[in-house]
A and B are shown apart, each in its own frame.
Chain A
Amino acid sequence: MASVSVLNELKKTQILELLEQGKRVDGRALDEARELSIEVNAIPKANGSARIRLGDTEVICGVKIQPDRPFPDTGDKGLFICTAELLPLSHPTVETGPPQPPVIELARVTDRGIRESHMIDVSQLVIEKDKSVIGVFADNVVVDYDGNLFDACSYAATMALLTSKTPKWNWTDEKPVIAEGEDTQLPIMTIPVSVTMAKIGSHIVVDPNGDEWACMDARVTITSDSDGNICALQKGGSDGFTLDEIVKCGETSVKIGAQIREKLKAAQQGAQ
């Protein structure tokens, strides 16, 4: 199928016309996110996993927890590594090969959203100082694309980490050995939630779908924690935001973030 990424002009005009009336093509309010469906433990053999559907965007995150060597300058901290990959089956325009800048940005923004919030207390993930620590790997794969991968990956990774189970390791004979006993939750300090907003013309919409993503002028992804503090932010796209717009986006992200956080917590409860 040739050039699916060329958004047809009619659709673009429609999107703008409706926005002028305060409406969106799929009937949502400007500050309304799409339906979020959460499946915990989608990959039972991983330490934790979640499959997220945000509208028609679908992401699976698998968490693997295993002993690793610490970084040279932080021997008293465990490792947290978060990645994101756009699978070629998610959209006809996705190519195989080394990741392109937009996907690298997606991975790094998802990683920072969780890392900067201090969701996981990595100081509790040490097996033997300077020698062996616990490595927590959260790998996101995008399985179907319909806009806003930033939030989908954020929710998938957060859910997978919240419901992960880890064994304990003891340092025995100069190597980490799995200890007897039940697996436990990771040391979770807060629940970060990202909210992405797109600027189309002079309107700001929350959780842009694929069509809105294709015609937006700029976007911002803001991550807030359980205390309502903003801990990570990324602006993207080739246009700019005014000061007022950016401040309003901050408020919206905390408000909508709180709603989403309740859904994540409910899913976590459901899984226990």
Chain B
Amino acid sequence: MADKRKYVIPGDVVTTGPFRPEQNVILDGDKIISTTIGISEIYDDSVKVIPLTGMYIPKIDDLVIAKVNSHTSLSWELDINSCYVGFLPAQDVFGRDFSAHADELSSKLKTGDLVAARIANFDRTRDPLVTISDRDLGQIDSGELVEISPSKVPRLIGKRGTMIQMIEMATDAAITIGQNGWVVVSCESPEGLLKAKKAIQMVNEQAHIANLTDQVKEMLELKGES
């Protein structure tokens, strides 16, 4: 259980003492200093800061929405909204007996296509390995892409999924949230789509306010266009 949550900016001293520095903090002498804008959390033996901004850094098993940038005869290069580029090998899609001669990559995925993918492997020395070979992954052929700050993704999901479920139920939209801040929204009705997009942008822009859930709920309950 974390105690004493505090708003911090780079250079702020979170605490002093024998703590292990975790994400977004550094140890300077006996001071634990934040390296980003965020909310600090102090545990029994460690300290970290949850960032409120910043680009997406891949983590293994993250679900991401990715866009195909290009491909060679052996793999696709995916934009995952990070300075790291996703690497999707042909075998992932074609299977073990993939043949560079016979199988043409663009027949499955071409430049500009969107996919739901998972980060299979990542250590910072090389670009992350990505897979789309699970049931809930693969090419996205309908819906709209909405971009939010990756640091707002937890807020959009909500505690135990409450925020995203509220939005989906109120608008009848199906929403797939990538940990990288890219979100796909599909909805039969154009009004529902517009409302869902609006709700997502509200969370993105006002993640810091205390009663955000109530505000979003209020907006969703308004009849008609706003």
Interface residues of A (CB under 8 A from B): 1-4, 6-12, 14, 27
Take A6-B69, A9-B113, A10-B114 as given contacts and tell me if A1 and B79 are in contact as well, using a CB distance cutoff of 8 Å.
yes
Contact flags (1/0) for B186-220 with A, using CB distance below 8 Å?
Answer: 00000000100000000000000000000000000
**Nearest residue, chain B, Cβ from A3:** B69
Q: With an 8 A cutoff between CB atoms, is B81 at the interface? A: yes
A9 touches B110 (CB 8 A): yes
CB < 8 Å neighbour of A9 from B70, B83, B114, B194: B114
CB < 8 Å neighbour of A1 from B70, B77, B82, B113: B82
Q: With an 8 A cutoff between CB atoms, is B169 at the interface? A: no
Q: With an 8 A cutoff between CB atoms, is B145 at the interface? A: yes
**Nearest residue, chain A, Cβ from B140:** A10
Within 8 A of A (CB), among B81-111: 81-83, 85, 110-111
Which residue among A4, A9, A11 has the maximum number of chain B CB atoms within 10 Å of its CB? A9
B18 neighbours in A (Cβ, 8 Å): none
Question: Smallest Cβ distance from B114 to chain A, in angstroms?
Answer: 5
**Nearest residue, chain A, Cβ from B70:** A3
Q: With an 8 A cutoff between CB atoms, is B142 at the interface? A: yes
**Nearest residue, chain A, Cβ from B77:** A2
Q: With an 8 A cutoff between CB atoms, is B67 at the interface? A: yes
Q: With an 8 A cutoff between CB atoms, is B161 at the interface? A: no
CB < 8 Å neighbour of B83 from A1, A7, A27: A1
**Nearest residue, chain B, Cβ from A1:** B81
Closest 5 CB pairs of A and B: A9-B112, A3-B69, A2-B79, A8-B67, A2-B85
Which residue among A6, A12, A27 has the maximum number of chain B CB atoms within 10 Å of its CB? A6
Q: With an 8 A cutoff between CB atoms, is B143 at the interface? A: yes
Question: Smallest Cβ distance from B82 to chain A, in angstroms?
Answer: 7
**Nearest residue, chain A, Cβ from B184:** A10
A11–B140 alpha-carbon span in the complex (Å) = 12
Take A2-B69, A3-B69 as given contacts and tell me if A10 and B143 are in contact as well, using a CB distance cutoff of 8 Å.
yes
Q: With an 8 A cutoff between CB atoms, is B144 at the interface? A: yes
A59–B145 alpha-carbon span in the complex (Å) = 27
Which residue among B67, B111, B140 has the maximum number of chain A CB atoms within 10 Å of its CB? B67
A8–B83 alpha-carbon span in the complex (Å) = 18
B81 touches A8 (CB 8 A): no
Could you list 16 examples of A-B contacts with CB < 8 Å?
A1-B81, A1-B83, A2-B69, A2-B79, A6-B67, A6-B79, A7-B112, A8-B112, A8-B145, A9-B110, A9-B113, A10-B140, A10-B142, A10-B143, A12-B112, A14-B144
A10 neighbours in B (Cβ, 8 Å): 114, 140-145
A10–B110 alpha-carbon span in the complex (Å) = 12
A6 touches B112 (CB 8 A): yes
Besides the known contacts A3-B79, A8-B113, A9-B110, 6 further A-B residue pairs in the complex with CB atoms under 8 A apart:
A2-B77, A2-B85, A6-B112, A9-B113, A10-B143, A11-B144
Question: Smallest Cβ distance from A197 to chain B, in angstroms?
Answer: 25
B67 neighbours in A (Cβ, 8 Å): 6, 8
B113 neighbours in A (Cβ, 8 Å): 8-9
A80–B122 alpha-carbon span in the complex (Å) = 57
**Nearest residue, chain A, Cβ from B82:** A1
Question: Smallest Cβ distance from B85 to chain A, in angstroms?
Answer: 5
B112 neighbours in A (Cβ, 8 Å): 6-9, 12
A12–B145 alpha-carbon span in the complex (Å) = 11
A9 neighbours in B (Cβ, 8 Å): 110, 112-114
A2–B68 alpha-carbon span in the complex (Å) = 10
A8 neighbours in B (Cβ, 8 Å): 67, 112-114, 145
Question: Smallest Cβ distance from B107 to chain A, in angstroms?
Answer: 15
A14 neighbours in B (Cβ, 8 Å): 144
A27–B114 alpha-carbon span in the complex (Å) = 23
Question: Smallest Cβ distance from B144 to chain A, in angstroms?
Answer: 7
A6–B141 alpha-carbon span in the complex (Å) = 17
**Nearest residue, chain B, Cβ from A10:** B114
